[in-house]
Amino acid sequence: MAKAKGVRFGRPPKELPQNFVSVYKKWINKELSIKEAGKACDMPAATFFYKVKKFKNTTFQKYGKNPKKYTRC
């Protein structure tokens, strides 16, 4: 019943850090390792990788770009 009313369950997601896009670009260009990129964004490497996947999906769907061109994984 609550779900039908639009009540959201669970922990609210954290927003991406302000430096995420610049760190992401450095990681794509192989200037940073996944560990270094995660540390630069103040998150574990696995979380950085997860955020990259979500970022790619939302960005490329929104702007219609080819995700393979911007993919390192």
Q: Would you say residue 6 lies in a domain?
A: no
Q: Would you say residue 4 lies in a domain?
A: no
Rounded to a whole number of angstroms, the distance between the first and last alpha carbons of the chain is 41
6-54, pLDDT tens digit by residue?
A: 888 888 888 899 999 999 999 999 999 999 999 999 999 999 999 999 8
Q: Would you say residue 37 lies in a domain?
A: yes
Task: Name the pLDDT band for 63 (thresholds 50, 70, 90).
Answer: low
- pLDDT of 73 above 70: no
Whole-model pTM above 0.75?
no
Give the domain range for residue 65. Answer: 17-70
Q: Would you say residue 2 lies in a domain?
A: no
> Would you call 17 helix, strand, or coil by DSSP?
coil
Count of domains observed in the chain: 1
When pLDDT is averaged across residues 47-63 and rounded to a whole number, the result is 81
